[in-house]
Chains A and B, each alone.
Chain A
Amino acid sequence: MAYLELDRVAKQFGAQTVVDDFSLSVGKGEFISFLGPSGCGKTTTLQMIAGFLDPTRGAIRLEGKDLTAIPPARRGLGIVFQSYALFPHMTAAENVAFGLEMRKVPRNERAERVRAALAMVGLAGYEDRHPRRMSGGQQQRVALARALVIKPSVLLLDEPLSNLDAKLREEMQIELRQIQRTVGTTTILVTHDQNEAMSLSDRIVVMSQGKIEQIGTPQETYEKPASAFVSQFLGKTNDFAATIDRTAAPARLVVGSWAVPAPAGFNGAVTVSVRPERIGFGDAGLTARIVTRIFQGNHWLFQCDSECGPAIVIRQNDGKAQPAEGDAVRLTWRPEDMSARARESA
């Protein structure tokens, strides 16, 4: 079942552990993102899969075979680098052809595959351009074509979109997803951009300080963050201190002056996370006062001062009247919109 498997992989530089106890199994054709802040070990993990670094401990297996025993030049992985690392002295076609040349693909077939690869990334007709005469987006496409033309067993993307401007990045995200769907190549993307990870991947591996915080689908990691780090890193969130009281039936969750039916599984002091777009203004709930109200076109952003500390609320601009700055409000949400976890000792 597992196509690519990382088994308790660790990497140490001297006394410093950069990646620790990293286990992941990737299915064939899956699109996985390694998401985390800089220095969380995501690029190091990618480089170990690529073979540019050797793991200190653990095993990396591709279709059951030990990958670490194979030199990087013979792993047959396609890699797109953050800087693209195109060969500046070669034309786009020569860049794409390089991997095929190394594989001794006959000239005719090579030319055909290069043409097809460049056409796939939307660069038909750019065969004879040199990289320095192409825009950042075009270079990115050449790099993608160069990595895909060798029909890699796994495609590794190292922050490939971070050098593009916001609009182009969005376009490339959609295109990257479409290409990956069509080609069906198992893909691993390293990124620090949560939107990129969420819009592209089947599953996200959230990393922090060399450790995996959570592995899950974009919805899972967003809706049910496994740790405070995940909920903070994936979009905005509100954390409230709460208590679960199971002495009376039915069990109650008390947050501030508001009590709601308790979710299963916890007892005592907990932290509840609620996404700002899930909070509404109602008749019962946390007492709060609106501090600032910001209009952002399709939605309103409220910063509130609640009885449990500062809170942010996002309301869709549906044309209805919204509370003004200084108004006293009640913050309310449905029980299923909050996720509770044992309170971390501060």
Chain B
Amino acid sequence: MSGVAEERGARAPWALTAPALMLFVGVLLIPLAMTVMLSFHDWGQYKGIEPVFILKNWYEIAADPYYAEMFWRTFRIAILTTLLTALLGAPEAYILNRMSGRWKSFFLLVILGPLLISVVARTLGWALLFGGNNGLVNKLLMSLGVMRSPIPFMFTETGMVVALAHVMMPFMVLSVWAALQRLDPQIENAAMSLGAGPVTIIRRIIMPQIMPGVLSGAIIVFSLSASAFATPAIIGGRRLKVAATLAYDEFLNTLNWPLGAAVATLLLFALVLIVVGSNALIERRYAEVFR
């Protein structure tokens, strides 16, 4: 009797997680495995996809500097976006944390704003402000005589970084904010009583303690920016491609699925490697603060 119950008890967790597990395997693991497989297949203009095992696509990516340029650009944009969000987001979180209740919830909503607006509306909003001669800000600056030609925004890496930083900001702010809330509320008073001025308090006491928050925010922002599709697609179009838009083009315009799959796979593995690696580094470095 008890043996049956025990057996049933042991099986229960599996039975209960089965639906979610099947969904996970069915819509994530299998397509992922298929994409990896696809990257080893052959493709020709007239013969289409041939299910063989060759390294042609991978060789092409490694040999053609065009792909290297795409990937460098992708990571350059992701790094600059991460830096920009950290530089603006960390002080923003600090100020937010010091606000009184009502203002805090209001500005939290403002900070979350970019996430609530559709990517198309948000990015096109930037285009309306800075897009060429007709951009509102450009028009204003030019009519004031501040500058002669419009600030280049569309089809530039700067534009992509700005637009990406805008939408990624909430992740950085919330991550730093979480770190700030773990601070001892008396810690600034303690430093002050020992003779530290405001700058020293921020630099020596606050910064080191919120660094883990900044870094985990940076990991989120970096991985999301490096694999971002919609924003680079709208700002860069097909003129200024990044890894994600490149893979998309190979799939849907050139129809070279195997090559697209290879680009996507490379992007995925590069990101996993960077994220896991930096996470391990951060955890080791900040073991004392995390504990």
Which residues does A use to contact B, with CB under 8 Å?
Answer: 50, 52, 72-79, 81-89, 98-99, 102-103, 130, 132-133, 146-147, 150
Contact = CB atoms under 8 A, between A and B. Distances in A.
B289 A99 contact: no
Interface string B176-214: 000000001111011111111100100011001100000
A87 B195 contact: no
A337 B189 CA distance: 46
Contact of A99 (B185, B186, B194, B197): B194
Contacts of B196: 73, 98, 102
B205 A87 contact: yes
B284 interface: no
A105 B204 CA distance: 17
5 contacts: A73-B197, A88-B288, A89-B208, A99-B194, A102-B194
Given A89-B209, A102-B200, A130-B288, A72 B192 contact: yes
A106 to B, nearest CB: 16
Contact of B189 (A85, A87, A147): A85
Contacts of B187: 85, 87
Given A86-B184, A87-B205, A146-B194, 8 more contacts: A72-B192, A72-B193, A73-B192, A76-B195, A83-B184, A102-B194, A102-B196, A150-B195
B102 interface: no
B189 A81 contact: yes
Contacts of A102: 194-196, 200
Contacts of B193: 50, 72-73, 75, 77-79, 147
Contacts of A99: 194-195
A103 B197 CA distance: 12
Given A81-B189, A83-B184, A150 B288 contact: no
B184 A150 contact: no
Contacts of B190: 79, 81, 85-87
B291 interface: yes
Interface in B31-81: none
